[in-house]
């Protein structure tokens, strides 16, 4: 892959974690999600039931809050990295 092409894709590799399951909520309904990236309190997950990816906050009690789903991995990864960067500055 050329250096130019590499910069076109979000790099979440430094944030990858051993996958674990968490319960998220969409419109008040719970669903299982597989978390595979974390940076601080921000997480990125796969919502397998909907074939979508999501970003959320893992709070102090271990619950997922303020989660949002995206139609593609790239959209979720960009949102995750942007949110994590804001959290790093806070």
Backbone angles phi, psi at 46, to 5 degrees: -105, 125
Residue given tokens 């039931």 in the structure block: 49
| Each residue's pLDDT tens digit, 35-81 | 999 999 999 999 988 899 999 999 999 999 899 999 999 999 999 99
3-state DSSP call for residue 4? helix
Instruction: Please tell me the predicted confidence (pLDDT) of residue 8.
Output: 75
Grouping H, G, I as helix, E, B as strand and the rest as coil, residue 15 is helix
| Bridge partners (DSSP) listed for residue 41 | none
**pTM above 0.75?**
yes
């Amino acid at each position: 892959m050329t250096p130019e092409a590499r910069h076109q894709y979000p790099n979440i590799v430094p944030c990858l974690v051993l996958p674990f399951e968490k319960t998220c909520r969409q419109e008040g309904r719970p669903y299982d999600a597989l978390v595979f990236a974390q940076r601080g309190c921000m997480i990125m997950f796969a919502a397998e039931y909907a074939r979508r990816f999501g970003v959320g906050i893992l709070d102090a009690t271990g619950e997922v809050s303020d989660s949002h789903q995206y139609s593609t991995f790239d959209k979720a990864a960009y949102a995750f990295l942007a949110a994590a960067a804001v959290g790093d500055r806070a």
